[in-house]
Amino acid sequence: MPRTALYDLNAVLEQAVSIFLEHSFYGASMDEIIARTEFNRRGFYLEFGSKQHFLYRVLEHYQQYQLFPIISEMELQPGIESIQRFFKRYIELIHQRGCLLINSVTELGRQDPVIRDMGRHYLDRLQFDFIGCLEKAQHQGMVMPDINLESAALQLTSYVQGFAVNSILADSALEMELATHTLLHPLLTNK
């Protein structure tokens, strides 16, 4: 009969999010991962196989529990307000920490096709959601009728990536909130 796991996998993955945000993939030592997740080394390798596969699980967890809930509002209630709420919540998530997925893509995406695909799928989903929100806002007369929605959505998606980096350096979330306002303002009809 298989033994019951003596650890809470979600708690382990959540702790690992902090480790990788603090140290990056290459900077995070196995000793620190083992110590902070309270895993034993043998159990770690039985569960995950390698540090690389562990990172994949951590990124899946991060997307499911931290990124996707922020994005899903744009899918459920498209419009300009959802875009504004997305940026507010995203800034709260990443301020002074960065975005684990974007950080991982930056660090590993060139040589790791799994990480690259995760990043590409996330950014594609984000861009499609921005398009949907902008289309709805345009139909409601809240966004300028002559803007190219795909280009605007691409620009918003690019800013999300830049915010992930700037959030580590910014002294205050106010800087990113101001940048968000400046980014969205030219799109709006009621300036």
Over residues 91-118, the pLDDT tens digits come to 999 998 899 999 999 999 999 999 999 9
Estimate to the nearest angstrom the gap between the alpha carbon of 9 and the chain centroid: 20
Reported pTM: 0.90
The answer to whether residues 127 and 153 touch, using CB atoms and an 8 Å cutoff, is yes
Question: How many CB atoms neighbour CB 49 within 10 A?
Answer: 12
The per-residue pLDDT for 129 is 97
User: How far, in Å, CA of 144 to CA of 151, rounded?
Assistant: 13
Q: Rounded CA gap, 65 and 100, in Å?
A: 12
Contact assessment for residue 77 and residue 71, using Cβ atoms and an 8 Å cutoff:
no
Distance CA 122, CA 71 (A): 10
> Does the pLDDT at position 83 exceed 80?
yes
Lowest mean pLDDT among 47-51, 69-73, 169-173: 169-173
- 11 CB-contact burial (10 Å; exposed 0-12 / middle 13-18 / buried 19+): exposed
* Torsion angle defined by CA atoms of residues 128, 129, 130 and 135, in that order, rounded to the nearest 10 degrees: 90
| Three-state helix/strand/coil letters over 82-104 | HHHHHHHHHHHHHCCCCCHHHHH
- Topology annotation, domain 58-187: Tetracycline Repressor; domain 2 (1.10.357)
| Amino acid identity for residue 164 in this structure | A
CB 86 within 8 A of CB 56: no
Q: Which helix (H) or strand (E) holds 157?
A: helix 149-169
